[in-house]
Amino acid sequence: MAAPYDLNDDGVVVIIGSGAGGGTLGNELAQKGVDVVILEAGARIEYEDFINDEWESFGQLAWGDKRTTSGDWRVARDFPNLPAWIVKAVGGTTTHWAGASLRFQEHEFRTLSHYGKVDGANLLDWPLTLAELEPYYAKAEDKMGVTRTNGIAGLPGNNNFKVLKAGADKLGYKECHTGNMAINSDFRDDRMACQQTGFCFQGCKWGAKWSTLYTEIPKGEATGKLEVRPQSMALKIEHDASGKVTGVLYADKDGNRHLQKARLVCVACNSIESPRLLLNSASAMFPDGLANSSGQVGRNYMRHTTGSVYAVFDKPVHMYRGTTMAGIIRDEARHDPSRGFVGGYELETLSLGLPFMAAFLDPGGWGRSFTSALDNYASMAGLWIVGEDMPQEQNRITLHAEMKDEHGLPIPDVHFDDHPNDAAMRNHAYAQGRALYEAVGAIRTFPTPPYPSTHNLGTNRMSEKASDGVVNKHGQTHDIKNLFVSDGSQFTTGGAENPTLTIVSLAIRQADYIAQEMATGAI
Amino acid sequence: MTTVYEGKRRGLSRRDVLRRGGKVGIGAMLVISGSAVISPQFAWGLETSGLAPEAVATLIQMARDIYPHDHIEDRFYAIAVKSYDERAGKEAAFKEMIEAGVADLDRRAGAGGYRGLGWEDERVDILRQVETTSFFQTVRGGLVTGLYNQKELWPLFGYEGESYSKGGYINRGFDDIEWL
């Protein structure tokens, strides 16, 4: 049974956020006998209550707190207060994610060495290698039940995949399959197999897709060592005169403030809220925010070079049926500067329902060019581009100078400019996507701009040297020994791969480190 | 209370409407009768409250011109714009913006007004002129959900909506493509 911990219990590890990073870390620590309190800003919504309706589900799950945007990205124009499409609920964005679980490639951990210096980019090697992370990738794949690992069969291909595969074959792509998906292709881990429902983004109502909501969290709670406190919005991390963190001030659902004392604090609120919390925790001792001696907190915001290509055919596809993202082409994920850019990208099947297609196909678009595309919705196929984007110092999360949230704290502004490398990669991917669909008879194709970001990365990055980043190779902040970062904001660079598997692997690894350091009394 | 109601029988005749004192718009399929916008052809009416029915009829035409789908009946566009009528009844500033926007469309269209223009291209030319106004952007932006989030409309685009209650598509054609 999950036993509630006292607010004055200063022996607990407080984790802020219950998604891929926080939820996994919480369970891993609880399994080792460590007392854990997870503060989660959102409500606990069990999977039976998810909704097969795009807008209704968005209202139920999405992080809708006001944010502002700036920069040359189109999201700033089309969705100025919605930079990111992520979740505010227990389980975090693992309720919404599509399940694609890919390991980083070896060279993606050392981009500065491998790509060389790129003008305008703040490239840096991770203080970590693929070899060091491999055992944890293996644990994560087993934990999450990733298809095509651990003897788990791949998912069956849906209509959208079949179109992708036919086009991939025509273009001569070699590595195309139904993906490495943390979605059960058969009963496993007390969860049933995928029923091809087509609402992966709205939360899997079968529980077939891995989410911390119904895997890590109840497993952790069953140890009696993990308490998840929903609707608890962290406002500030407190510290003592020695500079060690001592607890987290948070607001409950009624806006009442509480201070949960802590032996150590792990920040896992996604790459917008994590740096915001560190910046909002500024004090006389740390006037630029916690763990920010490098000035890198909030900087190097990455979101993957994304985009979609949709295509209409003269015959039906019904792309929305079945697992949304069970289809991938990996041939372009390599680093091959002859294409005119560094890094690579994945092509993955993607589908939106009619309501979201109307909102995202060409935001702001209208007239017959736009509506004739929707008229062919049933004959549409689609893919998503996921590529490595360049970390840039000026792409960053800052505190808004005037606007405050309901708790009186500055809201975050998300600034993003495309790097020329990002644009070159996206254009290459658009051309490949278009060629792929035309090879199987597409009548029209639509290069669709990036959606509000789901892959938010890099704003508390890992670095060997304290002057280059915010955390070390264990996610421990360079400045404060008992303060950790446990989400995708640790990423030094983004890779071409969907980030969740790497976030989970880092969390498992971090749990080992924290437990060991606590056992020796180092923290 | 603003409602879109279906006529008791399909095909309210032009004579029926005229007998009720309606004005048949020039070249339009929508008829103004009292405070209602009526579609004689498809037998539905929209009772207006916040805006003049003429303005609502123009908004319906404008909605179709922004998001033209020839296989979608006017009533879906009417449902989409009725929220503007309701909001205009509550917010004076909003009402003023909509009325001024509609008047501007009519002014730009010349004699006969916006709805009097026979070709979609002529009306779209006018919409392009006002595309950056908050009037246009408010109307267009609201339609994205007001129109496309109507469940009754989804099947007309071949979108099947909710599928969990039917057991997903595992036995209902997730992989039934045959033409590849």
3-state secondary structure A349-373: ECCCCHHHHHHHCCCCCCCHHHHHH
Name A387's bridge partners.
A305, A345
Chain B residues with CB under 8 Å of A154 CB are none
Chain B residues with CB under 8 Å of A379 CB are 158
Per-residue confidence band for B15, with pLDDT thresholds at 50, 70 and 90 = low
pLDDT, residue B4, reads: 59
Give CA separation, A226 vs A1, A38, A177, B17, B178, in Å: 9, 8, 38, 70, 51
Altogether, the residues listed in chain A come to a count of 523
The rounded distance, in Å, linking the Cα atoms of A508 and A263 is 19
Give ipTM to 2 decimals: 0.95
Region of residue B12 (phi > 0: left; psi between -120 and 50: alpha; otherwise: beta): beta
Chain A residues contacting B via beta carbons under 8 Å = 52-53, 55, 156-159, 162-163, 166, 194-199, 205-206, 313, 315-318, 320-322, 353-355, 358-359, 364, 366-368, 370-371, 374-375, 377-379, 440
Residue B157, pLDDT > 80, answer yes
Give CA separation, A320 vs A142, A165, A350, B160, in Å: 28, 16, 8, 9
Per-residue confidence band for B44, with pLDDT thresholds at 50, 70 and 90 = confident
Q: How far apart are the first and last CA of chain A?
A: 27
B119 contact A CB<8A: no
Q: What global pTM score does this model have? A: 0.95
Residue B25, pLDDT > 80, answer no
Give per-residue pLDDT as tens, A301-352. Answer: 999 999 999 999 999 999 999 999 999 999 999 999 999 999 999 999 999 9
Beta strands A305-312; A444-448: pairing state: antiparallel
Region of residue A198 (phi > 0: left; psi between -120 and 50: alpha; otherwise: beta): left
Count the helices and strands in chain A (H runs, E runs).
Answer: 12, 17
Beta strands A233-239; A226-229: pairing state: unpaired
- φ and ψ at residue A427, rounded to 5 degrees: -65, -40
pLDDT, residue A68, reads: 98
B164 contact A CB<8A: yes
CA angle A7, A488, A510 (to 5 degrees): 60
Taking a C-beta distance cutoff of 8 angstroms, is the pair A433, A385 a contact? Answer: yes
User: In chain B, whose CA is at the least distance from the CA of A378?
Assistant: B158
Among partner residues A158, A166, A358, which is closest to B148 by beta-carbon distance? Answer: A358
The rounded distance, in Å, linking the Cα atoms of A476 and A506 is 12
Q: Virtual CA dihedral for A159, A163, A165, A166, nearest 10 degrees?
A: 130
Residue A249, pLDDT > 80, answer yes
Q: Cβ of B138: how many Cβ atoms within 10 Å?
A: 16
Handedness of CA A452, A456, A459, A463 (dihedral sign): negative
Q: Which residue in this structure is represented by tokens 């219990």?
A: A9
